[in-house]
């Protein structure tokens, strides 16, 4: 990595790996959740994540790059934390709020990465990539807001 | 972990571990950064992190708990990602923006966790903990905004 263009490509491969890893982690979270609205939220987000992988493939294509992932230590750690909670939390009073908290940490990770990637795309003059990344960023922000609403209205209490 | 109170205590130990881990990671980021304002931002945030550890110790005390950390896989992964960038990025054009991106991912992780902890403190009627956690949350949001401003004004271009 020598240029901002290199950093952009590298981070794109990181988040592509992360989204693919999440398609394996989200079904486990949906199975573990006790609250039915929370289960549904994880299943909906799994569908959305598959759509985001398609959008990322369009970003790679717009840059003339082959879509590929690079192992992302951050998402590995975040998913490991979530799996640990599923092991440790007994009963819905602890598990469901803890699962939402862990899922929001993952959403925030993605919000940070897409925010950075979008700004770099703008800086580098990659208009199509900028617009696609903005679409995903908005989806992640909405997913996070939905989890907050679910926590406050149905799960914590 | 059976109750929301248990989840709260567990997550507090997680973030206490994370902040302590960051006091070791931030000097490495400050040393690696090429831009002098970015170096200064990492050093300032190290001081702020030490202050946040003190505030967390007050939170533990307000709950009648002994301050202690529990290994947090998420922060381990986030720090490993940052250290990987320091290895891989050659020259300021890639390294400084990549370091800011990684630091913002960490800030977002903290924003997510303090946001969750603060809401749980409110739900559980821990007024003093709520206020202390709100103070730290506001500091993390300000630190993230400062990194965005630095990226846009001085580093990416």
Cβ-nearest to B81 among A2, A74, A97 = A74
The torsion of the CA quartet B107, B112, B114, B120, rounded to 10 degrees, works out to 180
Quickly state the pLDDT bin for A5 (edges 50, 70, 90): very high
Cβ-nearest to A90 among B1, B115, B119 = B1
Average pLDDT for B138-149: 96
- Determine the Cα–Cα distance for residues B145 and B150; give it in Å rounded to an integer: 9
SS3 of A6-26 = HHHHHHHHHHHHHHHHHHHHH
pLDDT tens digits, A25-49: 999 999 999 999 999 999 999 999 9
pLDDT tens digits, A57-80: 999 999 999 999 999 999 999 999
Do B40 and B80 meet the contact criterion of CB atoms below 8 Å apart? no
Average pLDDT for A133-141: 98
In chain B, residues with a C-beta closer than 8 Å to the C-beta of A155 are none
In chain B, residues with a C-beta closer than 8 Å to the C-beta of A2 are 89-91, 93-94
* Average per-residue pLDDT for chain A: 96
- Determine the Cα–Cα distance for residues A143 and A22; give it in Å rounded to an integer: 14
Q: Among A71, A74, A83, A86, which residue's Cα sits nearest to residue A111?
A: A74
Q: Among B142, B54, B2, B114, which residue's Cα sits nearest to residue A108?
A: B114
Is the confidence metric ipTM above 0.85 for this complex?
yes
* Owner of token pair 């599923």: A86
Q: How far apart are the CA of A65 and the nearest CA of chain B, in angstroms?
A: 19
Q: Which of B8, B81, B100, B147 is the best residue to mutate to test the A interface, defined by the most A CB atoms within 10 Å of its own CB?
A: B81
Quickly state the pLDDT bin for B156 (edges 50, 70, 90): low
Query: Does A156 have pLDDT greater than 70?
Result: no
**Residue of chain B whose alpha carbon sits nearest to that of A121:** B156
- pTM of the entire predicted model: 0.96
């Amino acid at each position: 990595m020598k240029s901002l263009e290199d950093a952009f490509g590298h981070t794109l491969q990181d988040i592509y790996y992360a989204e693919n890893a999440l398609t394996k982690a989200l079904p486990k979270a949906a199975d573990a959740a006790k609250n039915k609205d929370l289960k549904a939220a994880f299943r909906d987000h799994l569908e959305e994540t598959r759509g985001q992988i398609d959008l990322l493939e369009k970003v790679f294509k717009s840059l003339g790059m082959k879509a590929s992932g690079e192992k992302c230590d951050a998402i590995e750690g975040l998913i490991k934390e979530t799996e640990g909670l599923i092991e440790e939390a007994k009963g819905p009073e602890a598990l469901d709020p803890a699962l939402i908290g862990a899922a929001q940490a993952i959403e925030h990770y993605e919000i940070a990465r897409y925010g950075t990637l979008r700004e770099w795309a703008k800086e580098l003059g990659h208009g199509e990539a900028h617009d696609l990344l903005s679409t995903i960023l908005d989806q992640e922000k909405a997913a996070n807001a939905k989890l907050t609403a679910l926590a406050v209205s149905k799960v914590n209490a």
